[in-house]
Amino acid sequence: MSNPLLEVAADLLSGAIKVVDLSVTLKSDTPILQLPEEFGWKNAWPFSMEEISRYDERGPAWYWNNIKCGEHTGTHFDAPIHWVTGKDHENHATDTLPPATFVAPCVVIDATADAAADEDFLLTREYLENWEATHGQIPQRSWVLYRTDWSKRSDPESFLNRREDGNHNPGWDPAAITFLAEERDVTGVGTETVGTDAGQAAAQDPMFPCHNLMHGANKCGLASLCNLDQLPPTGAILIAAPLKIQNGSGSPCRVIALVPTAQ
Ligand code: 23J
Ligand code: MN
DSSP secondary structure code for residue 144 in this structure: E
- Gap from CA of 33 to ligand 1 centroid (Å): 7
Q: Verify whether ligand 1 is closer than 6 Å to residue 78 (CB atom).
A: yes
Ligand 2 center to residue 71 CA distance, Å? 8
Instruction: Name, in order, each residue with C-beta under 8 angstroms of 213's C-beta and a sequence gap of 6 or more.
Output: 85, 174, 177, 178, 181, 206
- CA nearest to 77, candidates 245, 201, 259: 245
**Full-model pTM:** 0.97
Q: How far is the CA of 77 from the centre of ligand 2 (A)?
A: 6
pLDDT above 70 for 263: no
For ligand 1, say whether the CB of 147 is within 6 Å of any of its atoms.
Answer: no
For residues 106-118, give the mean pLDDT.
Answer: 98
Please indicate whether residue 82 is annotated as part of the active site: yes
> 208: Cβ below 6 Å to ligand 1?
yes
Q: In sequence order, what E strands does the chain have?
A: 17-21, 48-56, 59-68, 76-78, 103-110, 122-123, 143-147, 162-163, 166-167, 171-172, 188-191, 220-223, 236-240, 250-252, 255-260
Residue of 196, 207, 225 to test ligand 1 pocket, by largest number of atoms within 8 Å of CB: 196
pLDDT tens, 125-184?
A: 999 999 999 999 999 999 999 999 999 999 999 999 999 999 999 999 999 999 999 999
